[in-house]
Structure 1
Amino acid sequence: MLILSHSRAAQVAYQDLLRLHLDDRAADLVGSVEARTRNGRTYLYDRFRLGTEMKARYLGEDTPELRARLDRAAALKAEADTRKKSMARLARMLRAEGFITTDRDTGSLLGAFARAGLFRLGGTMIGTGAYALYQGELGVRFDTDELAQTGDIDFASFERLSVALDDRVEAQPNDILSALKFDPVPGVTDTQVWRWRQSHGTAMVEFLTPAFGDETVKALPALGVSAQALNYLNYLISDPIHAIALYRSGILVQVPRPEKYAIHKLIVADRRRDGPDQFKARKDRAQAEFLIDVLAQDRPDDLREAYEDALDRGPRWRQRIDATLARMPATAEVLRDLAHA
């Protein structure tokens, strides 16, 4: 498979744009930083007074990078005007370099969700929408056939994280979706809504969460939505990364790690192979093939770790992966060589 890279200048511009958006988020610090530990993980909050009440706004999981940015919050706030101009310039440069942009409807939706705090509070964009954003993370060009979209925009989050954060989105997704002309699609056997369909188009927005057994509908309190639980999703959305959707001056979102996305697609393709989503199964395999080819060359250790992690999760996981790889002999050989390297 021929893999074409973006220019070095474009890759540097993308990383600069991502850094500036992360700086922009840290510049919103209002009060003091408070650390809270739950289930062995430490989360950071912006603690400030609003009238007579003390408020706490979730900032993210504790990392040296986030701490360093928060330590510079005052300086970052003072640099806001300069940063905005730089972000606009870098976005123009990426468009000129051939980066695929986000369409207006999707960009408006992602922007509204980002402002409401959906990504800050653990929401992760998955599916083909996330796949398209790996052009910046991996520095490679995507063919239009690889990005043929079904119109679906999928978001996922952990139920336990949503409960533990003790914070909520600043605007309800249901209100945002209604304003953007999306109508709720009630479930057949459940009144909890986790899907919305665009009234003037074919786009569908879905909220998902990991299942550990029964695939039921669950509440995500932090995001203010219900979500369809799916098995294997916990693997995909653990330890996500930031990415930029190229709309206007860019939108900071959260997506799965590309190596986990690739291996997860092998699992999903097997689940879909005999059902009504057989077309999606073919696209799953194509996306997995492309990412595995790229990662085997540029990030073999990350890919090997993700592959071995999935195989170690039990016989059902191995059966799903092996069944898909039986249809993809070239990809199977790449992973075999990687495992024996």
Structure 2
Amino acid sequence: MKTIDLAYRTMFAELVQRCLDATFETEFSIEGNFVRVPVKGRDYWYFEVTRPKKTRKYVGPAEDPEITQRVEAHKEVKQDKRALRKLVSTLTREAGLAAPNRFTGDIVDAMGTAGIFRLRAVLIGTVAFQTYAGYLGVKLPGAALQTGDADFAQHYSVSSSIEESLPPVMDILHSVDPSFRPVPHLSDPKHSTQFENATRYRIEFLTPNRGSDEYLDQATPMPALGGAAAQPLRFLDFLIHEPVRTVMLHRSGVPVTVPSPERFAIHKLIVASRRRSDAAGAAKREKDILQASLLIKALDVTHRLDELAEALTEAWHRGPAWRAAIDKGLKMMPKKNRDTSVTILQQALASIGEDLDGFRLSEG
């Protein structure tokens, strides 16, 4: 596992901060411009967008100093976006950090711009995994990064309490690809948790299920997700607890919220043990254990063993089903990866003075 040079790690940290700052500096798209329009002897500011069609939105009188200040701030953000594109290009081309394919990047960008992360949803799955290269400052192999879907998770309690919603989710997806359509849920065709385009690229919305198993086959309506429902899943609450903010290396950088890498690693061990035994399940299981082993190594080389140990300890203490799943997930790894992962996990536990009863059985 190779780390990237300090200069590139510093550059990525700068990119993250500037991208996050930019999301608060302007309410107006960088794709448009402010124009000064004379009307009956007075000048007014309008905001003009030329794509997909030319539109103008009234902003206010040009002599208003507060409005003029916002116009200048918008110019600075636009200039900064150009600089951010250069940073992203340097990090992907020179540092070799992972970037999503353009379509995935555009989807996540559209969802982020619509407000999904502000509404406390979390990007999960392989698209989230792609962001850990920059977040941790390591190089991750391409085989672990390939995907044909994007997954978002949100707690129902959050979705039902924030009293705000995304725009219609179909409008968001159609802004990227008009061929997207809702996929009726198998047990509740009135709702859709998945959306698919003509090339079978899928967007899925998920929510934790900590109640009865009878809810696992039902779609959960999510008030904040613009008409989308979500598929309840076990163990998901562990994954999306205390997520982290980072940037996807797409265009000028896309601010995203993803699970913490230590929780992602432990969660992948758990879900690997629960995959179906068919060909599709086997392929997903292989990717699960690969991503888990890579992140365990990455957390070791970046000196984050305390965080890894705390995540493992929390999951281990959640009960016998959790312990069995972690143990089974580790045993699914190729022997060399399993031995390395178990050694790192035991070192991590030692670093916080934790001795988990039964964990050493995972070496067998």
Q: Which of 320, 327, 352 is equivalent to 1:322?
A: 327
In the TM superposition, what is the alpha-carbon distance from 1:167 to its structure 2 partner? 1.5
C-alpha separation in 1, matches of 2:78 and 2:326? 49
Partner of 2:277: helix, strand, or coil? coil
Q: Does 1:294 align with 2:298?
A: yes
Residue 316 of structure 1 aligns with an amino acid whose one-letter code is: A
How big is the shift at 1:29? 7.3
1:249 is displaced (CA, Å) by 0.6
| C-alpha distance in structure 2 between counterparts of 1:74 and 1:119, whole Å | 26
3-state SS of paired residue (2:300)? helix
> Highest CA radius of gyration, 1 or 2?
2
Does structure 2 retain, via aligned residues, the 8 Å contact 1:232–1:264? Answer: yes
SS at match of 1:202: coil
Find out whether 1:219 has 2:221 as its counterpart: yes
Report deviation, 1:186. Answer: 1.0
Shift of the alpha carbon at 1:183?
1.9
Q: Is the 8 A contact 1:123 1:223 kept in 2?
A: no
Q: How many residues align?
A: 294
1:279 maps to a residue whose letter is: A
Cα distance, 1:322–1:273 mapped onto 2, change above 3 Å: farther
Aligned partner of 1:337: which letter?
A: Q
What residue in structure 2 maps to residue 264 of structure 1?
Answer: 267
Alpha-carbon distance in 1 for matches of 2:251, 2:75: 22
Q: Which residue of 2 aligns with 1:254?
A: 257
Aligned to 1:337: 347
Show the 5 A alignment for 1:118-267: 118-149=116-147, 151-169=148-166, 171-179=167-175, 180=177, 181-191=179-189, 192-199=191-198, 201-213=199-211, 214=213, 215=216, 216-224=218-226, 225-267=228-270
Deviation for aligned residue 1:320:
0.7
CA contact (8 A) 1:27 1:74 kept: no
Cα distance, 1:195 vs. partner? 0.6
Match of 1:53 in 2: none
For residues 314 and 28 of structure 1, do their structure 2 counterparts lie closer, same or farther at Cα, with a shift above 3 Å needed? farther
- Give the corresponding residue for 1:306: 311
- The CA distance in 1 between the partners of 2:151 and 2:124, in whole Å, is 5
Could you list the per-position Cα deviations for residues 117-148 of structure 1 after superposition, in whole angstroms to 9, with x for gaps in the alignment? 01111121111110011011010111111213
Q: What SS is found at the alignment partner of 1:185?
A: strand
In structure 2, what is the equivalent of residue 93 of structure 1? 90
Alpha carbons of structure 1 residues 337 and 91: separation in structure 2 relative to 1, 3 Å: closer
Q: How far apart, CA to CA, are the structure 2 residues paired with 1:75 and 1:166?
A: 33
Q: TM-score with structure 2 length normalisation? A: 0.76
Structure 1 runs of 4+ aligned residues shifted over 6 Å read 73-78
Change (3 A) 1:81 1:147: closer
Query: Once structures 1 and 2 are overlaid, which stretch shifts more, 237-246 or 77-86?
Result: 77-86
Out of 11, 14, 39, which is 1:13 matched to? 11
The more displaced of 245-254 and 228-237 is: 245-254
| Per-residue CA distance 1:298-327 (angstroms, 9 max, x = gap) | 201010111101111111111111111223
RMSD: 2.1
- Do 2:209 and 2:237's aligned partners in 1 also have CA atoms closer than 8 Å? yes
How has the CA–CA distance of structure 1 residues 89 and 310 changed in structure 2, closer, same or farther, with 3 Å as cutoff?
same
Higher mean alpha-carbon deviation, 211-220 vs 151-160, is at 211-220
Q: How far has the Cα of 1:274 moved from its partner?
A: 3.0
Would the aligned equivalents of 2:100 and 2:130 in 1 still touch at CA under 8 Å? no
- The answer for unaligned runs of 5 or more in structure 2 is 29-69, 352-364
1:245 and 1:251 in contact (8 A); partners too: yes
Q: Which residue of 2 aligns with 1:40?
A: none
Contact 2:209 2:234 in 1 (8 A): yes
Counterpart code for 2:257: Q
Closer, same or farther: CA 175–144 of 1 in aligned 2, 3 Å? same
Q: 1:103 aligns with which of 96, 101, 118?
A: 101
* Equivalent residue number for residue 26 of structure 1: 24
Decide whether the 8 Å contact of 2:185 with 2:219 is kept in 1.
no
State the alpha-carbon separation in 2 of the partners of residues 312 and 292 from structure 1: 19
Cα shift at 1:187 = 1.6
State the Cα distance separating 1:28 from its structure 2 match.
3.7
Instruction: State how far apart, in whole Å, the 2-side matches of 1:333 and 1:273 are.
Output: 28
**Contact kept in structure 2, 1:23 and 1:76, CA below 8 Å:** no
Structure 1 residues 339 and 266, CA gap change in structure 2 (3 angstroms): same
AA matched with 1:159 = Y
- Cα distance in 2 for partners of 1:152, 1:96 equals 24
Identity %: 36
